[in-house]
Amino acid sequence: MKTMKLVAAAALALSLAACTTADDDAAGSGMLGGMGAGGGAPSNAVDQSSLAYFTTAVGDRVFFDTASSSLSTAAQSTLNLQADWLKRFPDRNLTLQGHADERGTREYNLALGARRAQAAYDYLVAQGISPSRMSTVSYGKERPVELCSDERCWAQNRRTVTVIAGAVGS
């Protein structure tokens, strides 16, 4: 997971570097992806406006410590990348889904999920993303993505997922 995020961040850094010299027009219509930059084959082109790109290259989720809604440095880095992407594709709206692990009572975890969604929301607002593009919802402990009952899975479930409109939520 960590390796994947590093690769994604590197890919994004490449694409952002490219972005600074690109025409404004290119931003909205999609460009050659950072993934393909090294290989150069046109068939490797990645639509950077795509939901797949957002999910895998930008990173669609941030993680939290137990019972916490504080954004770690890693979470802030991911949200910075999300904010950059959202500025490049200003027609995209999003929902921030807050989640908790299974180690808590139902009502508390629902409220905790709301805190986590709000933490990401506030951070993105501070990065200049318009509140009118964003909504939040909490799922508490109702929708885990990892199903084992130990910290490996719980750490993956304590999350806020940025779901771009039109994407399938998780």
Q: Give the interface with other proteins as residue ranges (CB under 8 A).
A: 67, 69, 102-108, 110-112, 114-115, 118-119, 121, 137-139, 142-145, 147-149
50 or 170, CB closer to other proteins? 170
- Per DSSP, 59 falls in state I
**How far lies 25's CA from each of 17, 29, 103, in Å?**
16, 7, 48
Provide the 3-class DSSP secondary structure of residue 138. Answer: strand
| All residues at 6 or more sequence positions from 123 whose CB lies less than 8 Å from its CB, including other chains | 71, 76, 79
Check residue 133 and report its DSSP letter.
Answer: G
Q: Which is nearer to other proteins, 44 or 149 (CB)?
A: 149
Degrees, nearest 5: CA angle 51-53-57 = 135
Residue 27 beta carbon to other proteins: minimum distance, rounded to whole angstroms: 30
Per DSSP, what are the bridge partners of residue 135?
95
Q: Per the structure block, which two tokens stand in for 152?
A: 């490996």
Shortest distance, position 52 Cβ to other proteins, whole Å: 21
CB-wise, 18 or 110, nearer to other proteins?
A: 110
From the CB of 111, what's the least distance to other proteins, in Å?
Answer: 4
Q: And the tokens for 27?
A: 């931003």
- Report in angstroms how near the CB of residue 42 gets to other proteins at its nearest: 38
Q: Which is nearer to other proteins, 34 or 104 (CB)?
A: 104
Q: CB 63 → other proteins: shortest distance, Å?
A: 17
Closer by beta carbon to other proteins, 47 or else 151? 151
